[in-house]
Every structure is written in C-alpha cells, then in structure tokens.
Structure 1
Amino acid sequence: MVKLQSLERDFENERLNEIFNRVSKLVNQMKCHGDKIDDQRIVDKILISLSEKFNPMVTVIEDTKHLSTMTVQGLIGYLRSYDQRFLRHTEKFIESVFQSKLNVENKSSTQ
C-alpha cells in the first residue's frame, strides 16, 4: 500500500513536470524564432492543459489571482503546493480505509 502511494505521487509529479517541460521547450523554441511570448499566455496554456484533478485550484487561481501579472514560476509553485496537499489527503484517506478494513476483518475473525 505504501509503495502504491509512493508510485502514485511520483506519477502525479511526473505529469506536472511533463506539462511544464513541454511548455517550456515550446516557449524556448518560439522565442528563438522571434516570438515575444509573455507569461500571461504561458500561464493560460498551462491552466488549460491540466487534468481535472486541478480544476478546483484553477478556479481559485482564476478567481483570486491577477492572471495578467502572474508569473509562470508563481503558477508552478501554486500547482505543486496544491498537488502535494492533495496527495497527502489522498494518502490519509487510503490509510483510514485500510485501517477500517483491518478493524472489520479483526471483528469478523473474533466472532
């Protein structure tokens, strides 16, 4: 169970890193060819590229942050923080379900 949680955390982190790396690579190529792409455009692209899991955070960012002044690094910080918090809550939920199952099995075996 612990190994599975660790693998899931790595998978989610890899997904975020994949999005950031892919967007960064494209932006660098565009800049090399003379495009003056700004952070707002990059932030918008990242926000629409995220999985459903990030919808609550995207909504908060759109409603409370000034997207026109948000930096890409600031966005990445928000998303990584949200992802870590989300995974901690998921791990706690899985642990409580696992513990509940053990308790039910123990009660069943003693009866």
Structure 2
Amino acid sequence: MTTFDDREQGFEKKFALDQEQEFKATARRNRALGKWAAGLMGLEGKHVDEYAQAVVKSDFELPGDEDVLRKVFEDLKGSGVNVTEGDVRMKMAELLAQAREEVKKG
C-alpha cells in the first residue's frame, strides 16, 4: 500500500466512526426529546418510555429531523400543551448537543 492508500483508509474509517457517533447521538436525542414531551403531556411510568420509543421510531420515516419534529409538535398540540414549533426545535438542538457530548465521552 502507498501512503495515499493508507491516508484514504484512515479518512474512510474516521468518516464511518463519525457517522456512527452521529447516529447514536441522534437516537439519544430523540429518546430524551420523547421523555421531555411525555413530561409536558403528563405521561407517567411506563408510558414515558413507550412514548420515548415511539419518538425514536418516528425518525426512520423520512431523512432528517422533520419527522421527529412533526410527531412531537403535533402530539404536544393534541394534548393541549401550549408550545410552538420553535420551542420544540430549540429543545431538539439543546438535547442533540448534550447527546453528542455524552456519546463522545462513551
């Protein structure tokens, strides 16, 4: 192998690792977002975890975060919680930053 091949493999491995960490952070963010929303909706006990899992699953509908945003925002509105789409977006950003740090730490 040449030095170029070694560098290329190194970049590919780093890219794969970065993608895996981002996937984990997004899933962690979605679970935390689900728990946050469940608390606002007054869910308790096993219903909190069930709702958080539903939020995680909703992320597989479309690429990006819009499917998660739509689910949580619509569920909150449907429960009578006074929240804006901007509030949910800000919470998603805050929780993603926290999740990225947690994933980095292991």
Larger radius of gyration: 1
Q: TM-score range by the shorter chain?
A: 0.3 to 0.5
TM-score by length of 1: 0.34
TM-score by length of 2: 0.36
